[in-house]
C-alpha cells in the first residue's frame, strides 16, 4: 500500500491500492482533507476545496 506524507503535519496518509484521481483522503493526524492528483503515475496531495461543502465532521 502506498502512502504519502501530509503537507501540513508530515504524518503518513495511507492510500488504498484502488485509489483514483479526485478521491478525497483525510490526514488521520490533523484531519486536513486532500484531493488525490495523479502525475506521471504517482499521486500527490492537493488541499481539498471545501468551500460551500460540509463534509459532516
Distance (Å) of CA 17 to CA 8, 12, 14, 43, 50 = 23, 15, 9, 11, 25
Q: Per CB under 5 A, does 11 bind Zn ion?
A: yes
Which residue in 2, 14, 30, 47 binds Zn ion (CB under 5 A)?
Answer: 30
Segment contacting Zn ion by CB under 5 A, of 17-25, 29-37, 45-53 = 29-37
Q: What's the distance, Cα to Cα, between the start and end of the chain in Å?
A: 26
Contact between 45 and Zn ion by CB under 5 A: the answer reads no
Interacting residues toward Zn ion by CB under 5 A: 6, 8-9, 11, 27, 29-30
Amino acid at each position: 500500500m502506498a502512502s504519502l506524507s501530509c503537507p501540513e503535519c508530515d504524518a503518513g496518509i495511507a492510500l488504498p491500492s484502488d485509489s483514483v484521481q479526485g478521491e478525497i483522503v483525510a490526514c488521520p493526524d490533523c484531519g486536513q482533507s486532500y484531493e488525490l492528483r495523479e502525475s506521471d503515475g504517482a499521486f500527490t496531495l492537493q488541499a481539498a476545496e471545501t468551500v460551500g461543502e460540509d463534509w459532516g465532521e
